[in-house]
Amino acid sequence: MLVVLFGVIAVLLWYWWKRHPRSPPSFPGELPIIGHVIAMLGYRNDIWSFIKRVCDYSLENGGLIRLNVGSHIIYVVSDPNDTGVVASTCLEKGFFYEIGKDFVQKGLLTSDATTWKTHRKLLHPAFNQQVLNTFLNEMNIQARNLVSQLTAVAQRTSLGLEAKDQNIIDNNYANAIQEILNIFCYRGIHPWLYPPFIYKRTAWKKKEDDLIRDLKNMINTVIQKRRSDLKANNFVTNNGVDSITGRFKPVLDLLLHLADEEHAFTDDEIKEHLDTIVIASYDTTSTVLQTILLVLGTYPEVQERVYKEVQEVFQNSEDLSMLDLSKLVYLEAVIKEVLRVYSTVPIVSRKLDTDIVLPNYTLRAGSTCILSIYGLHLHPSWGPDVKEFKPERWLNPDTLPTNPNVYVPFSIGKRNCIGKQYAMMSLKTSLAHIVRKLHVSGDISNIKWKYELVLKPANPALMEFTIRY
Binding-site residues for heme: 417
Q: What is the C-alpha to C-alpha distance for residues 338 and 421, in angstroms, rounded to an integer?
A: 16
The two beta strands, 454-457 and 362-363, are unpaired
Q: What is the C-alpha to C-alpha distance for residues 327 and 309, in angstroms, rounded to an integer?
A: 9
Q: What is the C-alpha to C-alpha distance for residues 376 and 467, in angstroms, rounded to an integer?
A: 38
Q: What is the C-alpha to C-alpha distance for residues 142 and 154, in angstroms, rounded to an integer?
A: 6
Backbone dihedral angles phi then psi of residue 242, each to the nearest 5 degrees: -65, 125
Q: What is the C-alpha to C-alpha distance for residues 285 and 283, in angstroms, rounded to an integer?
A: 6
Query: How far lies 385's CA from each of 246, 376, 379, 389, 395, in Å?
Result: 49, 14, 11, 8, 16
247 three-class SS: coil
SS percent in the chain: helix, strand, coil, step 5: 55, 10, 30
Diameter of the chain measured on Cα atoms = 85
Q: What is the C-alpha to C-alpha distance for residues 382 and 80, in angstroms, rounded to an integer?
A: 12
Which positions make up the binding site?
Answer: 417
367 three-class SS: coil
DSSP code at position 24:
P
- Tell whether the torsion through CA atoms of 35, 41, 47 and 53 is positive or negative: negative
